[in-house]
Amino acid sequence: MASGQDKVVGASLLTFSTVVFVYYTLWAIVMPFVDESYFLHDYFPRREYAIRIPCVLLVFGLTVILTFLSMVMIKSKKKVEKKSA
Protein backbone atom coordinates (compact mmCIF):
# COMPACT_ATOMS: atom_id res chain seq x y z
CA MET A 1 0.00 0.00 0.00
CA ALA A 2 1.07 3.52 -0.64
CA SER A 3 1.86 5.68 2.36
CA GLY A 4 0.41 9.13 2.92
CA GLN A 5 3.61 10.77 1.73
CA ASP A 6 3.56 8.75 -1.51
CA LYS A 7 0.01 9.88 -2.17
CA VAL A 8 0.92 13.52 -1.60
CA VAL A 9 3.91 13.28 -3.95
CA GLY A 10 1.80 11.50 -6.57
CA ALA A 11 -1.00 14.05 -6.32
CA SER A 12 1.41 16.97 -6.60
CA LEU A 13 3.15 15.42 -9.63
CA LEU A 14 -0.23 14.79 -11.26
CA THR A 15 -1.30 18.38 -10.59
CA PHE A 16 1.96 19.78 -11.95
CA SER A 17 1.74 17.61 -15.08
CA THR A 18 -1.86 18.67 -15.69
CA VAL A 19 -1.01 22.37 -15.35
CA VAL A 20 1.95 22.02 -17.75
CA PHE A 21 -0.19 20.10 -20.25
CA VAL A 22 -3.00 22.67 -20.19
CA TYR A 23 -0.54 25.59 -20.47
CA TYR A 24 1.33 24.00 -23.39
CA THR A 25 -1.91 23.04 -25.16
CA LEU A 26 -3.22 26.58 -24.89
CA TRP A 27 0.11 27.98 -26.04
CA ALA A 28 0.71 25.67 -29.00
CA ILE A 29 -2.82 24.95 -30.25
CA VAL A 30 -5.19 27.72 -29.13
CA MET A 31 -3.06 30.89 -29.11
CA PRO A 32 -2.23 30.89 -32.85
CA PHE A 33 -5.94 31.51 -33.48
CA VAL A 34 -6.19 34.40 -31.00
CA ASP A 35 -5.55 37.96 -32.19
CA GLU A 36 -1.96 39.14 -31.55
CA SER A 37 -3.13 42.24 -29.69
CA TYR A 38 -5.16 40.24 -27.15
CA PHE A 39 -3.85 40.45 -23.56
CA LEU A 40 -3.40 36.66 -23.21
CA HIS A 41 -0.38 36.77 -25.50
CA ASP A 42 1.51 38.48 -22.67
CA TYR A 43 1.43 35.24 -20.64
CA PHE A 44 3.05 33.04 -23.30
CA PRO A 45 6.49 33.05 -24.95
CA ARG A 46 6.86 33.35 -28.71
CA ARG A 47 5.39 30.46 -30.68
CA GLU A 48 8.74 29.26 -32.03
CA TYR A 49 9.64 28.11 -28.53
CA ALA A 50 6.64 25.78 -28.52
CA ILE A 51 8.75 23.54 -30.77
CA ARG A 52 12.25 24.38 -29.56
CA ILE A 53 11.71 23.69 -25.85
CA PRO A 54 10.26 20.16 -26.28
CA CYS A 55 12.99 19.30 -28.80
CA VAL A 56 15.75 20.43 -26.42
CA LEU A 57 14.15 18.52 -23.54
CA LEU A 58 13.84 15.41 -25.70
CA VAL A 59 17.50 15.56 -26.78
CA PHE A 60 18.62 16.14 -23.18
CA GLY A 61 16.48 13.27 -21.87
CA LEU A 62 17.69 10.85 -24.54
CA THR A 63 21.29 11.86 -23.85
CA VAL A 64 20.88 11.11 -20.14
CA ILE A 65 19.19 7.77 -20.81
CA LEU A 66 21.70 6.63 -23.42
CA THR A 67 24.64 7.73 -21.24
CA PHE A 68 23.25 5.70 -18.35
CA LEU A 69 22.75 2.64 -20.57
CA SER A 70 26.25 2.87 -22.00
CA MET A 71 27.77 3.15 -18.51
CA VAL A 72 25.83 0.08 -17.36
CA MET A 73 26.95 -1.87 -20.44
CA ILE A 74 30.60 -0.90 -19.90
CA LYS A 75 30.46 -1.93 -16.22
CA SER A 76 28.82 -5.25 -17.03
CA LYS A 77 31.44 -5.95 -19.70
CA LYS A 78 34.21 -5.28 -17.18
CA LYS A 79 32.57 -7.69 -14.71
CA VAL A 80 32.38 -10.42 -17.35
CA GLU A 81 36.01 -9.86 -18.34
CA LYS A 82 37.10 -9.98 -14.68
CA LYS A 83 35.12 -13.17 -14.10
CA SER A 84 36.57 -14.97 -17.11
CA ALA A 85 40.17 -13.90 -16.35
In 26-48, alpha helices (H): none
- pLDDT above 90: percentage of residues in the chain: 82
Query: Residue 85: which pLDDT band, with cuts at 50, 70 and 90?
Result: low
pLDDT at 18 over 90: yes
Distance from C-alpha of 64 to C-alpha of 48, rounded to nearest angstrom: 25
pLDDT of 42 over the 80 cut: yes
The answer to whether 44 and 27 are in contact (CB under 8 A) is yes
